[in-house]
Structure 1
C-alpha cells in the first residue's frame, strides 16, 4: 500500500510539499513532547493562553520553514539520504532552534521556555533523521521484492563500497549482498557487511550463504588478475558480473552499473604504453584520412585519432550504413562534450577501386596522413570470388598509394594481416601482394610508408567472438573448424593504438609486426565463452567440429622466412626490413593479374596464379 503511494503521480508531483508538512508536524510534536517531559508528563491546561500559543506555533513553524528552504532540505531524495543531507538537516534544525531560543530570551526572558525549545530541537532532529532512515530502509527492501539474487562483492576497497551503495539505492539492481570477498583477510565491516573470505574460499562461501552471483568491483584490475578471479568463480559454477567504470561518472541515471565479463576482458593484455608525443607529432592539428573507416579497425582508428585532436578527419568507405553509424556516434560525442568542437569530421562514400573518386577526395581535402584499412578480409568468401579480392585489395591499394604520392601526403600506413605470411588462400595472397606494392613504392622521396601486420582482432566483424556468442545465445552447437586450430588474438583498441604508434616509425615501406602474445586454441576460446554465460561446455552447449574451410590454415605466422626483423622502441612492435622488389618487376606481376581477372573466370586458375606471383619475392 505504502509502496503504491510513493509511486503514484500525486506524490511525485507534490513530494516537497508533503515532506515539509511531515517535518513541520514533527516539529509540533517535538514541542508538545518537550513541554510534556518538562512538567513531569502532565499538561497544565489552565496556564495556557491559547492565542499566545497559536502565535508561538506560527512563529516556530515559519522559522523552521525558512531554514529548511534556505538549506535546500527538500532538493534531495530521501532514498539517497547520506552524510551531506544529514549535515544540512542538522544545521537547519540547529539554527532554527537557536533563533527561537534567542527570540524567547529577548521577548520573554524565561529560561524554562528556553530549555523546552532546546529539548524540542533535539527531539525534532532525532525524529526527522529517523523518518528518513525508515523511508530509505522501506524503499530498499520493497524495491527488491520478487526476483532477487544473493550476491557477494569481490573487492572490499573503495570500488566495492561504491557498488554496495549503488545496489542499495538503485531499485533496478535486484541483488541482496551478503558480504565481501577480498584478499585482505583482516575482518572489518563495510555498511554493516563483513569480509567473508578470499577467492580461495568461494566454494564454502557459496554453499554457506547460498550465493547466486559474484560481482567484481575492482578498479584498474589487471587482465591476469581478472582471469584468475573469473576462473575461480567458474570452478565453483558461480556466474560473474563486473562493475562498470561508468559508475564513477556523473550521469547516474544513464550509466550501466554492472555488465557481463566479456571474453575480450580476459584475452586482451590490458593497458598499452604508447609514446603520446611521437603519435601527436604527426596527427595533432593535421588532416587525416582513413579508408575503410566504417569497419572494425577503421572505426577504432578514427576514435583513437580523435583523441590526438587532428585538424580534420576524413572518413572514407563504400559501406554507407557503417559510415553513417560512426558519424552519428561522433555527433553524440560532440553533444555530450566528449569531442573537441574544432575538429572537422567529414564522411565520404567512395570506393578505393575508383581512381577518379580518390583523385577528387585527395584534391578537395588534401590529407597529410592516410591510414589504409579498406579491404575484403573474409577468407571463405574470397575463395569463391578471387577476382573481387584482387580488384579491391590489390588494385584498390595501389590506387590509394599512387594518390598519396601524387598529392604529396606525408605519411601512409596500411593495415596488413598475419594471413599474408606464406598464404594458402586468396585473401592472404592479395594482402601479401599489397605489402609488395608498398615496398616497391616505399622509397618514393615524397611519402613515408609502412604496413602494420597483426593477427585476428577480438570482436571484429565476422570474427569468431560474435559468431560464438550468437551460437551460444541460440542454444548451440558452437562450431569450430578443428579442435587443434590456434590463432593469435588482439583487442580492437589494442590493435588500433599500436597502429598509431607504428605509424610514427614509417619510412620507406617497412612492415611492422605487432607482438600478438601467446596463440590461443580456438577450442579453449569456445569453452571459456560458454562458461562466461554460466553454462557448461558439452553439457549445456555442444561444441561441434566441422572441418577446415577452404583456404584456412591450422596456424598463422607473423614473419616470412626471408624477412629479418628487429625491435623498435616499443616492445610490442617489431620492424621487418624492406625486401627489395623493383617497380618494373611489380608492374609485370600486376599486369598479369589485371589481364587475368578481365578474361578468366576459373577461380582455381586465378588463385594459383596470384599464389605463384607472390612466392618469387621471397627467393
Structure 2
C-alpha cells in the first residue's frame, strides 16, 4: 500500500472512531434523546471536536508511524491530541451557551476517544510488543545494560526473529533499575549475578549493550560473561554502525577473508578421498589445532577407521567426543602415547596396523623451545624418527609429515628440529616402499598459542595489544585451508617431496592487530593502544617458505608447489643424529649449541646441486 493510500485509510478509520466516540458519549449521557433534536450549534461543535482531534493527530505524526511498530510514544501522541482537542472543545462550549452539551459528556467523549484510538493502535502492534510471553523462547538472551541501547535491542528482538533469540532479562549495575520492567522484561540483577543467572535459567546468549562503557569496564563485564558457556556478543555503538565499522558481533568471531585479503580455498576432497577411503588412518598430535582438523577432514573421506594418537588426554578426549557426535558410524580409537618412546610407538603400529599416517605431533612454540631445547629435540627429531621407522616396519602406504616455514634457514631451536625432521623423513623415503612426503606451510590463524587468540584476549581485556616489532611479517592461512591442502598434497606424492603451500602474501603482524581491533569496534591507537615489546629469542622479522637454492616446481594443484630436495650425506646425517642423541644424556645443557653446530653443516643448504636423495 502506498503512503498516500495508507494515510487515507488510517485517517478514515480514526475519524470513524471519533464519530463513534461522540455518539457513544451522547447516547450514554442523554439516554433517549434523538439526534435530530440537536440544534445547528451542537452539530458544529461535534464536527469541530472531530476536526481538531484529527488535526492534532496529523501534527503528532501519528500517520507516519507503522502501527505494528507503535510504542509508548505513539500512544502518548494520541493522548495529547485528544486532550488538546477536548480542552479546545470545552472553551467553545463556554462561548456557545446555547449548546446543550454538558461537562459530563465532554469527559466521557475524551475517555472514549482515547480508548478507541489507543486501543486500535495497541491491537495493530505485533503481539511481542505488548505481550513478550507470546513469543516462544528458543534461545534465551540476557541483555547487559538497561539503558537506551539495551532497550532498543530488547524491542528489536521482540519484534523480529533474530536467530531464535528471545530477551529473557536485563542486567544493570544501577541500583535504581533493579526489578523494574521494560517491555515486560525484568531487570534481574547486576553484572556479578550473570554466572548465576546463566546457570539457573539456561541462558544461551549474552548481549552487552553499554556503548558508553570505557574499555576497562567493558573488559570487566566481558570477563564475567566469559565465565559462562553462553555466547557473548558486544553490540556496536551507534557511531560505529553509521561509519560502517565491523563493530560488535560475536566476541570469538573473525572475518578471516577480510583479515587475509583473499578468497578462502574451497575445492573438493575427491583427490584425498581416492587414497583415504577404506583405509586405517593414524593421526599423531590429533588433539592439536592441525591434528584436530586433520581428524575432521579425514573423516569426510570415508576411512575404515581413524586412530587418534596424542600425549595429552584432555585434548584427545575432546576431539574424540566431537568426532563421535559428528560421525557416529565411524570407528574411532583414541590412544594416549608418547612418540618419544619407541616401544609405545611400536605397540601402536602393531596393534592398529594403520596404512596411512599423518604426523602432526610437534612442539611448536618458538620462545618456549628456545628455553627447552632438549624437549624440542626429543619430540620433534626423535619422535618423528620413531614414527617414521615404525611406518616403514609396518608397511604403511603413505606417510605425510607436517612441517613449517621456520624449518627454512632456521635460527631457532624449533625451526632447527623441524628441519632435521624433514631430513629424516627424506632419508627414510629413499630406502622404503612407504610413500613419504613433507608438507611445509607458515602460520595458521587461531591455532592454540598463536597471535589471534592472544590479540582477542588482550582486546577483550581492554588492551593494550602487544606486538613484538612493527616490521614483523608472517604468512597466514586458516586451519581448514592448510589441512585441506595437506590432504591434497598426500594424493600428489610419489615419494620424498617437500610440498609447500601457497599462502598468499605475507601479512604484517601490526596490521593484523589493527584489523582485529577495528573488528571489535575500536579505533587503533586512539581507543586501544598497540605496544611494541621487542623481538623474542629465536624470532625473525620474516619467514621464508623456500630455501634460496631450492628448486621450486609446480604441482597438479594450483596452490601447492614442490621444493625439490637437495643431496644430503646420509652417513653424516646418521652420525649427527647419534651425536645429538648422546648429547641429550651426556650434555643436556649444551644441546642447543650442538644442534646449531650440526645444522650449520647443512647450513643454509646453499649447495648448487639440488640433487634428490
The answer to whether the superposition gives a TM-score over 0.5 is: yes
Shift of 1:606: 3.1
Equivalents in 2 of 1:617, 1:319: separation in Å?
A: 36
TM-score by length of 2: 0.61
- The alpha carbon displacement at 1:263 in A equals 4.8
Q: How does 1:213-224 map to 2 (within 5 A)?
A: none
Q: CA deviation at 1:458?
A: 0.5
Taking the aligned partners of 1:540 and 1:329, their CA distance within structure 2 comes to 39
| Deviates most, 379-388 or 601-610 | 601-610
Residue in structure 2 matched with residue 357 of structure 1 by the alignment: 344
| 3-state SS of 2:572 partner | helix
Mapping for residues 123-522 of structure 1, pairs under 5 Å: 135-139=127-131, 146=146, 149=149, 165-167=160-162, 170-172=165-167, 236=243, 238-240=245-247, 261-268=253-260, 269-331=262-324, 333=325, 338-341=326-329, 343-522=330-509
Residues 1:276 and 1:328: Cα distance change in structure 2 (over 3 Å): closer
CA contact (8 A) 2:413 2:592 kept: no
The match for 2:234 is none
Q: Report the Cα offset of residue 276 of structure 1.
A: 2.6
Query: Does the residue aligned with 1:274 lie in a helix, a strand or coil?
Result: coil
Partner secondary structure for residue 436 of structure 2 = strand
Return closer, same or farther for 1:234/1:351 CA change in 2, 3 Å cut-off.
Answer: farther
Which secondary structure state, in structure 1, belongs to the residue aligned with residue 541 of structure 2? coil
CA distance in 2, matches of 1:241, 1:265: 17
| Aligned counterparts of 1:538 and 1:373: Cα–Cα separation in 2 | 38
Rate the CA distance shift 1:592–1:150 in 2: closer, same or farther, 3 A. Answer: same
Equivalent-residue separation in structure 1 for 2:417 and 2:158 (angstroms): 50
Q: 1:608 aligns with which of 567, 576, 596?
A: 596
- Map Cα deviations across residues 432-489 of structure 1 (whole Å, 9 max, x no partner): 1111111111123410011110001100011001111111222222111101111111
Q: Secondary structure at the match of 1:467?
A: helix
On the 8 A contact 2:311/2:336 being kept in 1, the answer is yes
Secondary structure of 1:166's aligned partner: coil
Deviation at 1:577, TM superposition (A): 1.5
- Could you state the TM-score of these two structures normalised by the residue count of structure 1? 0.61
Deviation per residue, 1:480-510 (Å, 9 max, x gap): 1101111111111111111111111122210
SS in 2 for 1:347: strand
Answer yes or no: is the 8 Å Cα contact 1:405–1:444 preserved in 2.
no
Shift of 1:563: 1.0
Q: How big is the shift at 1:238?
A: 4.1
Larger Rg: 2
2: distance between equivalents of 1:597 and 1:615? 21
2: CA distance between counterparts of 1:381 and 1:168? 42
Over the aligned positions, Cα root-mean-square deviation in angstroms equals 3.5
Q: How far did 1:387 drift?
A: 1.5
8 Å CA contact 1:442, 1:507 repeated in 2:
no
Question: Kindly tell me: are residues 603 and 545 of structure 1, through their superposed partners in 2, closer, same or farther at Cα, counting changes over 3 Å?
Answer: farther
Distance 1:163 1:283, change over 3 A: farther
Mapped to 2, the partners of 1:456 and 1:163 lie a distance apart of 43
- The structure-2 alpha-carbon separation of the partners of 1:521 and 1:163, relative to structure 1 and needing over 3 Å to count, comes to farther
For residues 499 and 148 of structure 2, what CA distance do their matches in structure 1 show? 52
Q: CA contact under 8 A between 1:416 and 1:452: conserved in structure 2?
A: yes
- CA-to-aligned-CA distance 1:300-326 (integer Å, 9 cap, x gap): 110111111211000001111111111
Q: Structure 2: how far apart are the matches of 1:369 and 1:131?
A: 67
Structure 1 residues 148 and 572: CA distance shift in structure 2, 3 A: farther
Aligned twin of 1:252 = none
Tell me how far apart the structure 1 counterparts of residues 527 and 275 of structure 2 sit (CA, whole Å). Answer: 52
- 5+ residue gaps in structure 1? 1-78, 80-129, 154-161, 176-211, 214-231, 243-257
- Tell me, yes or no, if the aligned pair for 2:247 and 2:518 is still in contact at 8 Å: no
Structure 2: stretches of 5+ with no match in the other structure: 1-67, 69-121, 136-142, 171-210, 213-238, 608-613
The alpha-carbon deviation at position 241 of structure 1 amounts to 5.1
CA contact (8 A) 2:245 2:518 kept: no
Which whole-Å CA distance do the structure 1 matches of 2:159 and 2:263 have between them? Answer: 26
Deviation at 1:416, TM superposition (A): 0.3
In 2: Cα distance, 1:470 partner to 1:295 partner: 20
Q: Distance in 2 between matches of 1:169 and 1:277?
A: 36
Take 2:592 and 2:362, find their aligned partners in 1: how far apart are those partners?
21
| Change in CA separation of 1:476 and 1:134 when aligned onto 2, cut-off 3 Å | closer
